[in-house]
Every structure is written in C-alpha cells, then in structure tokens.
Amino acid sequence: MFDRLSRSWGLVKASASVLQQDKELLVFPMLSLGALLLVFLSFAAPVIGLGVLEGLHRGSRIPAGFYAIAFLFYFCQYFVIFFFNAALIGAAMIRLDGGNPTLGDGMRIATSRIAAIAGYALIAATVGMVLRAIQERVGFVGRIVVGLLGVGWSIATYLVVPVLVAREVGPIDAVKESAALLKKTWGENVIGRVGLAAAFGFIYLGVVGCGALLLAGAIVARSIPLSIAVLVLTLLALGICALVQSALTGIYEAALYRYATTGEGTQGFDSQALKLAFVPKK
C-alpha cells in the first residue's frame, strides 16, 4: 500500500514538472471556470422564473419543467468540463511526446472530438440525474448505496477523456476502455487522485488558516480596507490552488493513459514507477 502510494506521489511530482515547463496549461482550467460561471448564470434566470426556489422554501411541488432545466444544466456543465479537460490533456500528451504544445493545439484537439465529448456529457448527465433521482427517493442506507455507485462510476470513467483525446472512438466505447484500463492500474489512478486531493486539501486548510489569522489581525486593527484586502487575497490564493490542482490532475491522467496503452517511458516520469503502476493483476 505504502509503496503504491509512494509511486503515485512520484508520478504526481513528475506531473508538476510538466506543468512547470508549460505553465500555459493553467489557462485551460481558467477558461473552464469562466465558461462554467456563464452556464450557471444562464440557467439561474429560468430557475428563478419558474419559482422553484420559492416553491422549495414553501414545501410545494417542484414544477416538472425544472427537471428538464436541471438535465440541460447537468449536460452543459459536464460538456464544459470535459471539453477543456480534453484540451488540457491533449496539450499535455503533446508535451509527453516531446513536443511543445500551445493553447491552440489543445483547443484544436478538443474541437476535433467535440461530438464524442458531447456524447459523453450526455451519458454523464443522464447517470447523474438518475442517481440524484434515486437518492431523493430512498432512505439513509439507500443514499449510501447510491453514493457508492456514484463513486464507482467516477472511478470507472476516470480515463474516459484521455481515451476520447487519443482515439477515434465514441463515448460508449471510451467508457468501456476506461473501465478496462482501471483493471490494469491496480487502483494506482485512484490512489494518485486521492493523494493529490489530500495534498491540496492540506494546502487549502493552510491558506484558509493563514487568511483567518490575517483577517483576525485586521479586525483587531479595525481596518476595513485591510480586512477586504485579506479576503480578496485569500480567495485569490484558493483559486490559484484550484487551477494548479486541475492542471496537475489532467497531466497525471495523460501520463497514466499514455503508458497504459503504449508501454513507453515518458521524459520526467519514473519509468519503473509507471511500469509497476500497470503490472497485470494476478
């Protein structure tokens, strides 16, 4: 267990070295965040117009039209996330192959696979809505089971976007291939993902803790401008951390998929760690 975690950390550190060479990869998560904000704002008006929020507050029945809007929101949200992830992973794969990717390269790759990405977003939105609907209609134990199903779906589809980027396949075949690759990884991709999330969890706690201490000092000093500045800087630091985490996750996915399918080493990555990550299960 600890050896596997150590290998995964080595791969994460290698991902960080790739990001250091191509800092423009951070632009893709930024574009994704901006697009997601536009999606949220575009759906906020219809939800308010249907009076859903007031209905929920009063305990009345939710209008049927809300479910259609919710599904479209899920679809648009997933499409934006998958599209810019595809652009990031496509650019990362160029770097891993020894090239020097540009923002245009990533966008070109994602655009060339836009139909498959939309198809996968449709599948993900459907699964998300079904799980959400079931969760609202079952008891406590049922919610736990549905939650585990959601985790299982997330794990099984972890490498779908790299598959869509690298191969001319449809979304259903991409889901199947991602699940098949999961069996080869011995859970290495899961440990790496959890390890990365845990590391940034500590970073987030550190940023929030420092921000809270500085804010307390500003409040003691009774300085409103200083308090506002501390809040803004803390939110900015958290945003930068989130962008870095997203970029590293995309690079990590690209490296895992590349080695799983080609068996070739990658500059900056420990070949032995990659080899051990994909030893066939006995």
Mean pLDDT, residues 181-203: 67
- 222, amino acid identity: R
Give the pLDDT confidence of 188-198 residue by residue, as tens digits.
555 556 667 77
> Cα 278 vs. chain centroid, distance in angstroms?
22
**Environment class of 105 (CB within 10 Å of its CB; exposed 0-12, middle 13-18, buried 19+):** middle
Query: What is the average pLDDT across 99-111?
Result: 92
Amino acid letter for position 32: S
- The whole-number pLDDT of residue 155 equals 78
Q: What is the mean pLDDT of the chain?
A: 80
- Look at 29-33, 73-77, 249-253 and tell me which has the smallest mean pLDDT: 249-253
| Mean pLDDT in residue range 258-273 | 64
Task: Report residue 154's pLDDT band, with 50, 70 and 90 as the boundaries.
Answer: confident
d(CA 193, CA 126): 24
Q: Which helix (H) or strand (E) holds 4?
A: helix 2-21
Q: For residue 264, what is the DSSP state?
A: -
